[in-house]
Chains A and B, each alone.
Chain A
Amino acid sequence: RKEVEQDPGPFNVPEGATVAFNCTYSNSASQSFFWYRQDCRKEPKLLMSVYSSGNEDGRFTAQLNRASQYISLLIRDSKLSDSATYLCVVFRFILTGGGNKLTFGTGTQLKVEL
Chain B
Amino acid sequence: EAGVVQSPRYKIIEKKQPVAFWCNPISGHNTLYWYLQNLGQGPELLIRYENEEAVDDSQLPKDRFSAERLKGVDSTLKIQPAELGDSAVYLCASSSGVLETQYFGPGTRLLVL
Say whether A8 contacts B42, CB under 8 Å: no
Say whether B42 contacts A43, CB under 8 Å: no
Say whether A43 contacts B99, CB under 8 Å: no
Closest to A99 in B: B56
Say whether A43 contacts B40, CB under 8 Å: no
Q: Give the interface centre of B42, B45, B105 by most chain A CB atoms within 10 Å.
A: B42
Q: Is B58 an interface residue (CB 8 A)?
A: yes
**Chain A residue contacts of B55, Cβ below 8 A:** 98-99
Closest to B6 in A: A43
**Chain B residue contacts of A91, Cβ below 8 A:** 98-99
User: Which of A32, A98, A102 has a CB less than 8 Å from the CB of B45?
Assistant: A102
What is the distance, in angstroms, from A39's C-beta to the closest C-beta of chain B? 12
**Chain B residue contacts of A103, Cβ below 8 A:** 45
Say whether A46 contacts B40, CB under 8 Å: no
What is the bound-complex CA distance between A101 and B45, given in angstroms?
A: 9
What is the bound-complex CA distance between A106 and B91, given in angstroms?
A: 15
Supposing A87-B42, A105-B42, A106-B42 touch, asked if A43 and B58 sit within 8 A by C-beta, the answer is: no
Q: Is A104 an interface residue (CB 8 A)?
A: yes
Say whether A43 contacts B44, CB under 8 Å: no
Q: Is B107 an interface residue (CB 8 A)?
A: yes
Interface, chain A (partner B; CB < 8 A): 4, 8, 32, 42-46, 87, 91, 98-107
